[in-house]
Every structure is written in structure tokens, then in C-alpha cells.
């Protein structure tokens, strides 16, 4: 099969196995070139196949020498259709990690379900024994509740009043005004059910009940705050309510983990191009302006640089530095006053005509393509490849 990108709105419906492997291997190379970290050795990553979860898994194995089990929900190849990028990433990660001598096992299925939790516990027991780090990095538009079978959908909407601002079609470069209607109470609740902390705590409960938590265990989940520009749609919107819930869950989990001398942290990460963030209105325009500013200031990072910095902070041996809410702040460079001021200046008066000059749309598009294994110079996209790899 000759595989080319097929972009529909903010998703790409194809993925390239060789390109996804190149993407994974670049991240592995970055970690191998970074100083190694004495940290976790037995790691479970939930949401391990793309974005921050994949980077965390790579940094755990190649940076800390950890054996890993990854859970994700990806599509295998089928008649005439490529697998999803996360599928290919997982195959590539397992291959490289095993070749380097690490245990790397993966489970593909719905992490929200009791069945996948039980299947994972069995595998953890068999392959890892107890775990000393659990990274929760699931991003999903829906969740079927394991007890009731009811399916909830999350929405990306403002709360209280309509919100209008500029957005960009990253494919065409057209900047336009968008108005989003506020969420209903039910939509807010549903978004919290999908993206809040409940499933994270169900995972910890299941691991504890199965006696799979090691002494000194750490668990991590990822959050975002962001600037005033995205506040109405992000932090003060429906997804922000879910993140408040996730952050509150860290405090509850830390209390529960006291008997293991363990700790639950939320890390507030930088805005980056991932399959999830590209679906949020307004955010891709903000990200393309932010990238330009951060690159100019030599502060630009991707998921893998963030994961490496996170484990460096977590396992430095010193007290883990947090903000007054107990959160680790990996967004400190994004939120620096000089960075935000420059983004704000670029934002005011942004139009289709000046967006390419004020923002880094090229980088945005390349990052987006690379999420699906496209845009790598070392890959010949004219070659016939087998999409069905396991």
C-alpha cells in the first residue's frame, strides 16, 4: 500500500508505519542523548501510544531504564485501511525497547472498562510485579462508565456565556472569528465524567486491591492551564472543570497512598500539537504563535523534552518543586511574562494575511503531519509498505 496523509478537518485518517517508527525513534534518540535519571523501574502508562503518554513511556524506559506496560485504545489495520498512528507507535516502541533489553508489553482496549483494568493487572503481576510509577495520560472524547454502561461525551465549550475569538484553519491558513455557545449543566458534568479524575482513581484502587503498588509509588496525571487568550475555552470552560476535578483527585490519591509513602502529582504541561489539542477551537492559533515566540527565545520543547524535564524534577532526590496547589509546573517557560506578552502582541490584529509571519504555522503543520508518521525526510512515501504490522 502507498500511504499518503488524508486530512479531514483536525484529524488525519491514515498513518504511516515507517514514519511513526521514525517519530518514536527520534524521541528515543533524544532521551539516549540526555543524562540518565535514577528513578522508577516498573512503570505503567495508561494512554501510552501518542502524545504525552508515549513520550513518558519512552523517557521511562530509555532515560530511567524502566520496564513498562502501556495501555491504549488504537485501531489495527483492516481491509484497505491503515492502522492508527498510536498502533504503529506502540509496535515501534516495543521493538526498540525490547532490543535494548527492557520489558515492554502493551494492552489495546478501553482503559475505562473493568475488563481492561483486570487484564492489565494480570499482566503487571506477571511481567513487572509491583509498579513504582503510574502515568495516567488518557485523552478521550467519550467514556462508557464501567458500572452503569452509560456513555458520556465530553465537550469543548465555554461556561456561562458565549465566547467569540479568532481561530485558524491550520490546513488553509484562514483566520476567522468563531463563536461558541456555552455548555449546559449536563455537558459540564459529562465532560468531568470523561476527563476528570474518576478513572485515574479507579486505576489506583484496582492496583491497590491487587497489591501491585510498590513502596514509595508515584502516580502522575497531566493538566493544562494556559493564558488569558484561551481561558474561556480552556481553563474556565468545560475541560477546565474536568482538570479541576483531576487536580483535586491528586490530593485524594496522595492521602490514599500515604501507607506506601507514595504520592500523586498533577503536572501542568506545555501546550503542544497532539491529536487531542488540535481538536480544541482557538488553541491551534495560540499554539502557532506560541511556537514562534518560544523558538525565537530558545525555549521551544516537544512532548519528549517535557517528559525528560518532568522525570528530572520528580527524581532529582530533592523535594519536588510545586506551585501552591501542589502541581508540578512544566508550563513555566510557556507562561513566562515575556513569552506571553509577545504572544499577546502577535494575537491582536492577527489576520489570514499576517498569520504566517506572526505565527509558526509551518511548524504546526509539520508537527501535525508527524503525529501520523508523515513529513519525515528519511522516509520514502512513494514506496509500497505493508500497513498490517503487529
Interface contacts to ligand NAI, rule CB under 6 A? 47-53, 71-74, 86, 110-112, 137-140, 222-224, 269, 271-272, 274-277
Is 381 among the catalytic positions?
Answer: no
Using CB atoms within 10 Å of the CB of residue 148, give its burial: 0 to 12 exposed, 13 to 18 middle, 19+ buried.
exposed
* Shortest Cβ 75–ligand NAI spacing (Å): 10
Q: Considering the complex, state which of residue 25 and residue 260 has its C-beta at the smaller distance from ligand NAI.
A: 25
* Shortest Cβ 97–ligand NAI spacing (Å): 16
Strand-strand pairing, 11-12 and 42-46: unpaired
Q: Considering the complex, state which of residue 311 and residue 317 has its C-beta at the smaller distance from ligand NAI.
A: 311
Which residue's C-beta sits nearest to ligand NAI? 51
Question: Residues annotated as binding site?
Answer: 47-52, 73-74, 110-111, 138-139, 224, 243, 272-274
Q: Cell numbers at residue 150, please?
A: 452509560
Please count the CA atoms within 13 angstroms of the CA of 297 that sit on its side-chain side.
Answer: 19
* Shortest Cβ 137–ligand NAI spacing (Å): 4
**Hunting for cell 509546573 — which residue is that?**
329
Largest CA distance in the chain: 59
Q: Considering the complex, state which of residue 180 and residue 194 has its C-beta at the smaller distance from ligand NAI.
A: 194
Question: Residues annotated as binding site for NAD(+)?
Answer: 47-52, 73-74, 110-111, 138-139, 243, 272-274
Q: Determine the Cα–Cα distance for residues 145 and 310; give it in Å rounded to an integer.
A: 31
Q: For the chain, how far is it from start to end, CA to CA, in angstroms? A: 16
| CB environment 345-381: b (16+ within 10 A), e (fewer) | ebbeebeeeebeebbbbebbbebbbbbbbbbbeebeb
Q: Considering the complex, state which of residue 43 and residue 111 has its C-beta at the smaller distance from ligand NAI.
A: 111
Among residues 88, 136, 234, 265, the one annotated as catalytic is: 234
Q: Determine the Cα–Cα distance for residues 251 and 263; give it in Å rounded to an integer.
A: 9
Q: Considering the complex, state which of residue 260 and residue 336 has its C-beta at the smaller distance from ligand NAI.
A: 336
Strand-strand pairing, 7-8 and 11-12: antiparallel
Beta bridge partners of 104: 68
* Shortest Cβ 126–ligand NAI spacing (Å): 20
* Shortest Cβ 50–ligand NAI spacing (Å): 4
Helices (H), 146-267: 185-195, 198-209, 228-231, 238-256
Neighbours of 302 (CB within 10 A): 17
* Shortest Cβ 317–ligand NAI spacing (Å): 26
Q: Determine the Cα–Cα distance for residues 96 and 25; give it in Å rounded to an integer.
A: 8
Q: Considering the complex, state which of residue 260 and residue 366 has its C-beta at the smaller distance from ligand NAI.
A: 366
Q: Would you name the residues annotated as active-site residues?
A: 234
Amino acid at each position: 500500500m502507498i500511504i499518503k496523509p488524508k486530512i479531514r478537518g483536525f484529524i488525519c485518517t491514515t498513518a504511516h508505519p515507517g514514519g511513526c517508527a521514525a517519530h518514536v525513534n527520534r524521541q528515543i534518540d533524544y532521551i539516549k542523548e540526555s543524562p540518565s535519571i535514577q528513578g522508577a523501574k516498573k512503570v505503567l502508562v495508561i494512554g501510552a501510544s501518542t502524545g504525552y503518554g508515549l513520550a513518558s513511556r519512552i523517557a521511562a524506559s530509555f532515560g530511567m531504564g524502566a520496564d513498562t506496560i502501556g495501555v491504549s485504545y488504537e485501531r489495527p489495520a483492516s481491509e484497505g485501511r491503515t492502522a492508527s498512528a498510536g498502533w504503529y507507535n506502540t509496535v515501534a516502541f516495543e521493538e526498540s525497547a525490547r532490543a535494548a533489553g527492557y520489558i515492554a508489553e502493551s494492552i489495546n482496549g478501553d482503559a475505562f472498562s473493568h475488563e481492561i483494568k483486570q487484564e492489565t493487572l494480570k499482566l503487571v503481576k506477571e511481567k513487572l510485579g509491583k509498579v513504582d510509577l503510574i502515568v495516567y495520560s488518557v485523552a478521550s472524547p467519550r467514556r462508557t462508565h464501567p458500572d452503569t454502561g452509560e456513555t458520556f461525551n465530553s465537550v469543548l465549550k465555554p461556561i456561562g456565556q458565549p465566547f467569540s475569538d479568532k481561530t485558524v484553519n491550520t490546513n488553509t491558513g484562514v483566520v476567522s472569528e468563531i463563536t461558541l455557545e456555552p455548555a449546559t449543566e449536563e455537558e459540564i458534568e459529562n465532560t468531568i465524567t470523561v476527563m476528570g479524575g474518576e478513572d485515574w482513581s479507579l486505576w489506583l484502587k484496582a492496583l491497590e486491591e491487587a497489591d501491585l503498588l510498590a513502596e514509595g509509588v508515584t502516580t502522575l496525571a497531566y493538566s493544562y492551564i494556559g493564558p488569558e487568550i484561551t481561558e474561556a475555552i480552556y481553563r474556565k470552560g468545560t475541560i477546565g472543570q474536568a482538570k479541576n476535578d483531576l487536580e483535586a483527585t491528586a490530593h485524594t490519591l496522595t492521602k490514599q497512598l500515604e501507607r506506601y509513602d507514595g504520592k500523586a502529582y498533577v503536572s501542568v504541561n506545555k501546550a503542544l500539537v497532539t491529536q487531542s489539542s488540535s481538536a480544541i477551537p482557538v488553541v491551534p492559533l495560540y499554539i502557532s504563535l506560541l511556537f514562534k515566540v518560544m523558538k525565537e527565545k530558545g525555549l521551544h520543547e516537544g512532548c519528549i523534552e517535557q517528559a525528560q524535564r518532568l522525570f528530572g524534577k520528580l527524581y532529582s532526590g530533592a523535594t519536588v518543586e510545586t506551585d501552591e496547589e501542589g502541581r508540578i509546573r512544566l508550563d513555566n517557560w510557556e507562561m513566562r511574562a515575556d513569552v506571553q506578552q509577545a504572544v499577546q502582541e502577535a494575537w491582536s490584529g492577527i489576520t489570514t494575511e499576517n498569520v504566517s509571519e506572526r505565527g509558526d504555522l509551518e511548524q504546526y503543520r509539520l508537527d501535525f503531519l508527524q503525529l501520523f508518521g508523515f513529513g519525515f525526510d528519511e522516509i520514502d512515501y512513494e514506496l509500497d509498505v505493508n500497513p498490517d504490522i503487529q
